Amino acid sequence: MINQGVVMEAGMVQGMDTVIDSRHGTILYLEDVSVSFDGFKALNNLSLYIDAGELRCLIGPNGAGKTTLMDVITGKTRPDTGSVFFGQTIDLLQLDEPAIAETGICRKFQKPSVFDALSVFENLQLALKTNKSTWATLFSRLQDEQLARIYEVLATIGLTHLLDKPAGILSHGQKQWLEIGMLLMQDPKVMLVDEPIAGMTHQEVERTAELLLSLQGKHSLVVVEHDMAFVRSIAKRVTVLHEGSVLTEGSMDDVQNDPRVIQVYLGE
Amino acid sequence: MKNLDKSFGLVIAVILLVSLLMPLGNLLLPEGSAFKFSAYSISLVGKYWCFALLALSLDLVWGYAGILVLGHSAFFALGGYVMGMYLMRQIGDRGVYGDPLLPDFMVFLNWKELPWYWQGFQHFGFAGLMVLLVPGFLALLFGWLAFRSRVTGVYLSIITQALTYALMLAFFRNEMGFGGNNGLTDFKDILGFSIQSDAVRSLLLLTSGLLLIIALLLGQALAGSKMGKVITAIRDQESRVRFLGYRVEYFKLWIFVFSAMLAGLAGALYVPQVGIINPSEFSPINALEVVIWVAVGGRGTLYGAVIGAILVNYAKTLLTGLMPEIWLFSLGAIFVIVTMYLPRGLVGLFDHWIRRWTAQRQLLTPGAQEAGL
């Protein structure tokens, strides 16, 4: 019975890989997306295109719609109008959160969301890319390559020595890393990373920058961050959001010298 | 963690010993011996085991999945009614009215034939299956509607309470065909043996004890499995689990149905030992009591729920014998005290003491050695 479960799980993993059609170089399309909450337009005809393998930074003052944008992509919020496509073919508006996660879009929350009661190892184990149906989960056993993958990610995020400790005792920065590790375990195509360096020490920030830079190419990353020095250190292309739409897009230098951006950040 | 495993083993050992020794004392020892346990005490302990199983089933959904169900005794009562139906059919023509097929209350209501939903319950195997399927199906239906609409927290708790209340009102009606107000009682036999006999009572105690132990072991295995981890994760960070790609509502549904089946099983074992099932078992106050047992013992540990159920019910037996009018006040007081001072219940308190004691001993040991040298 147990062996059967394992075999089934292995089979499902192979069959599960969704083919993302990114032939045109773009992996994520958002077109004319609008979201309003009680008359407040959180997103206003926003259009955004993310290339396959790129690392894009999103900046913008508070309330510009950065988190709402991530909510729309991951299925938490349904837009009033507009379309959101993953590759050429997958309409994300037709899918719910687990289905979107399964296609390979995953997300780190603004507030680190790890499972405090579970150990660091178990946190990663739950995130592991595998068949996540109830029965498969009930009979699941870790296979050698899955175990190896968990240890690999543990080493990447520097938490190997804490693997059996409950995630609740980790520092804020370590929790951020653990959550990034949980994203890596899902082997995602697109990673949405909301404020990754909040609460980190200077060294931790540097290591996070290195980690994110090493991920581009293999994964597409969308990073939301307020720390401009950090954004400058990782970003090639920066998108500035303001009042729910894209204000401008370009290199960090272009963006920082744009008078409209200066006005938005500094006020009149 | 070590302490936890030890306590878990201890609880299982005690249940096993009591379930074996009490029947042996009752059946083998001569009249007048101190350990000649009475039939009454055997059934009483058997009843405690059933309550413990019910508490354990609630702990699975409340302690692990974080779903506070305020109507869990509905599943217990349904399991009880299913067993009651089997026991009624076993009476045969020995009822007051002597009808070979119809239970007394149906003859009294002038019913001419057995309703379709009473068919098949003369077979123990069929009834046994229904003990699991009826509560399981209700949980499936209810859970599917509630979890799919993402009803959580206090709203869900209130709806579950409404569910058990609605069932109570329904079962009070004579037209439902379950004996109305009086419920099902005057049972004679189970599997052809007299339900009043010491041997049957002893066997029921042993069966309840063994099933309780099996449920404890199953529950612990579940909690340690990946399934258990996902369920714990849902309790703490539901939306995170969803974004990891798990269908949270199916996991909640799974544990809810599993738990409802365990509760049904507990009810089915309870009915032959107390000899009656009536609609008051559905009453919301019963459902709240189960929550208190689990809170007193300490939720999220399984054996804590078992300890809580046994201790509170023992206190209830003592107090309702001495001063029945103060029982509800005591129950309320227990709940307030536990909520305010023992958030992890008795199990949490013991765990704290053991930790402190071992820490002190570790501090003292090297000093003592130096003194000796």
Does residue A154 contact residue A77 with C-beta atoms inside 8 Å?
no
When pLDDT is averaged across residues A78-89 and rounded to a whole number, the result is 92
Q: Work out the angle at residue B161's Cα, subtended by the Cα atoms of residues B158 and B163, and round it to the nearest 5 degrees.
A: 115
Q: Looking at CA atoms only, how far is residue A113 from chain B in angstroms?
A: 7
Does residue B267 contact residue B50 with C-beta atoms inside 8 Å?
yes
pLDDT tens digits, B230-287: 999 999 999 999 999 999 999 999 999 999 999 999 999 999 999 999 999 999 999 9
Set out the domains of chain B in order of their start, with CATH numbers: 2-365 (1.10.3470)
When pLDDT is averaged across residues B120-133 and rounded to a whole number, the result is 97
Find, in chain A, the residue whose alpha carbon is nearest to that of B227.
A138
Q: Residue B367's pLDDT is what? A: 53
Cβ contact (<8 Å) for A98 and B233?
no
| B166-189: b (≥16 Cβ within 10 Å) or e | ebbeebbeeeebbbbeebbbbbeb
- Predicted confidence (pLDDT) at residue A62 exceeds the cutoff of 90: no
Domain ranges of chain A: 2-266
Longest dimension (CA), chain A: 69
pLDDT tens digits, A211-232: 899 988 889 999 999 888 899 9
Closest CA to A115 of A155, A170, A157: A170
Q: Find chain A residues with C-beta within 8 A of B232's C-beta.
A: 115, 117-118
Q: Residue B34's pLDDT is what? A: 82
What ipTM does this complex have? Answer: 0.86
| A218-249: b (≥16 Cβ within 10 Å) or e | ebbbbbbbeebebbbbbbebbbbbbebbbbee
Closest CA to B72 of B292, B228, B249: B292
Q: Work out the angle at residue B132's Cα, subtended by the Cα atoms of residues B53 and B56, and round it to the nearest 5 degrees.
A: 20
When pLDDT is averaged across residues B326-346 and rounded to a whole number, the result is 91
Least confident of A16-25, A42-51, B97-106, B134-143: A16-25
Q: Which of the four pLDDT bands, split at 50, 70 and 90, describes residue A13?
A: very low
Q: Residue A23's pLDDT is what? A: 66
Q: Residue B227's pLDDT is what? A: 96
Q: Is A116 on the interface with B (CB under 8 A)?
A: yes
- Predicted confidence (pLDDT) at residue A233 exceeds the cutoff of 50: yes
Q: Residue A18's pLDDT is what? A: 57
When pLDDT is averaged across residues B345-363 and rounded to a whole number, the result is 88
Q: Residue A267's pLDDT is what? A: 66
Q: Residue A6's pLDDT is what? A: 39
Tell the residue number behind the tokens 């506070």, with chain if given. B68
Give me the residue from B233, B242, B250 closest to A134, CB to CB: B250
Dist. CA A151–CA A159, nearest whole Å: 9
Q: Is A115 on the interface with B (CB under 8 A)?
A: yes
Find, in chain B, the residue whose alpha carbon is nearest to that of A126.
B230
Kindly report the CATH class assigned to A2-266. Answer: alpha beta
Find, in chain A, the residue whose alpha carbon is nearest to that of B236.
A115
pLDDT tens digits, A114-145: 999 999 999 999 999 999 999 999 998 899 99
- Predicted confidence (pLDDT) at residue A191 exceeds the cutoff of 60: yes
When pLDDT is averaged across residues B289-306 and rounded to a whole number, the result is 95
Q: Is A114 on the interface with B (CB under 8 A)?
A: yes
pLDDT tens digits, B186-239: 999 999 999 999 999 999 999 999 999 999 999 999 999 999 999 999 999 999
pLDDT tens digits, A168-189: 999 988 999 999 999 999 999 9
DSSP H stretches of helix in chain A: 2-16, 66-74, 97-103, 120-127, 134-138, 144-156, 172-185, 202-215, 228-234, 252-257, 259-266
- A36 CB-near residues (< 8 Å, 6+ apart): A42, A80
Cβ contact (<8 Å) for A133 and B247?
yes
Does residue A109 contact residue A76 with C-beta atoms inside 8 Å?
no
Cβ contact (<8 Å) for A138 and B245?
no
Give me the residue from A76, A140, A186 closest to B244, CB to CB: A186
| pTM for the structure as a whole | 0.90
Q: Find chain B residues with C-beta within 8 A of A127's C-beta.
A: 244
Does residue B184 contact residue B178 with C-beta atoms inside 8 Å?
yes
Q: Residue A12's pLDDT is what? A: 35
Q: Looking at CA atoms only, how far is residue A158 from chain B in angstroms?
A: 21
Across chain B, what does the average pLDDT equal? Answer: 93
Q: Residue A3's pLDDT is what? A: 42
Give me the residue from A107, A116, A118 closest to B243, CB to CB: A107
When pLDDT is averaged across residues B121-136 and rounded to a whole number, the result is 97
**Residue A33 β-bridge partners:** A46
Q: Looking at CA atoms only, how far is residue B157 from chain A in angstroms?
A: 23
Q: Residue B205's pLDDT is what? A: 96
Dist. CA A54–CA A57, nearest whole Å: 10
